[in-house]
Amino acid sequence: MTQSSRDRTPAGDGPVVSPRDTETAERLLSLGRLTVEGRLVQASNATLYCSIEWEGLTAACVYKPVAGERPLWDFPDGTLAEREVAAYAVSETMGLRVVPPTVHRDGPYGPGMVQLWVEPDPEVDLVALSRSEDEAIRRMAVFDAVVNNADRKIGHLLPVSDGHVYGCDHGVCFSAEYKLRTVLWQWRGQRLTTEAVEALRRVDKALRNGPLRETLLRLLTAEEVEATVRRVELMLKHKIHPFPPEDWPAIPWPPM
């Protein structure tokens, strides 16, 4: 069974869990019964659209089993699911909440990443949004710089009706080498906002002495965690958005 990326609604008759209710969403994603409804055929790795139910709560979610990950030349095999969970942990610590609730758990096809489905507002022009100076997009650009996102495409932006923007597909983040590749370069070299600096200070503290460090060390290599610390240090030191890398393609292809 296959489905397009725009024709899905949550299955089930129970109350639907909001991505803003992270505590409830994490419990549902961790403990709920997963039922595979279809497959996102445009994804390069096995990406399954599922319904999930637990104690009367219901939601739609994405399940990416490790067994369905395609090997990459520049990332260790079988690590993409952990990187998605790490990205969620960083987003929450920063207080930006740009990644939908995400957990690592066992599923019908083995262990993998399970993320709450966020239905984007169909009225939003994603290309125009990605080129805009919307503050929600600027938060995403700051987050991507912290996690060293090597694949921020336009189609990975999930704007919702209240103006908030979520992002998905963070499996190729946290490389120890600088590999930031994104469609969101409009602030390169510009001063960071006060909000961004405060978010960076939160994540800096948590990376040094807080539970985030322990969480990331379970999901990433020690070298990758230390590289994350250094990226945050540099952003706090210079207080500007980073510039594109000189030895790495700056924009993903295709950009959508």
Condensed to tens digits (0 to 9), the pLDDT of residues 52-91 reads 999 999 999 999 999 999 999 989 999 999 999 999 999 9
pLDDT of residue 140: 98
Nearest to 194 by CA among 186, 184, 202: 202
CB-side neighbour CA atoms (13 Å) of 68: 19
CA 142 to chain CA centroid, Å, is 13
pLDDT at 44: 81
Residue of 85, 43, 35 whose CA lies nearest to 60: 35
Enter the pTM of the model.
0.94
**Phi then psi for 234, rounded to 5 degrees?**
-65, -40
Query: What residue ranges do the domains of the chain occupy?
Result: 22-116, 126-238
pLDDT score of 212: 97
- The mean pLDDT values, 10 residues at a time, for the chain of 256 residues are 39 72 97 96 89 95 96 93 98 98 98 97 98 98 98 97 97 97 98 98 95 97 98 98 92 92
- What confidence score (pLDDT) does residue 7 get? 42
Q: Which CATH superfamily is domain 126-238 in?
A: Phosphatidylinositol 3-/4-kinase, catalytic domain (1.10.1070.11)
Two tokens at 187?
Answer: 């602030």
H helices of 173-249, in order, are 194-209, 211-219, 222-238
pLDDT for res 13: 53
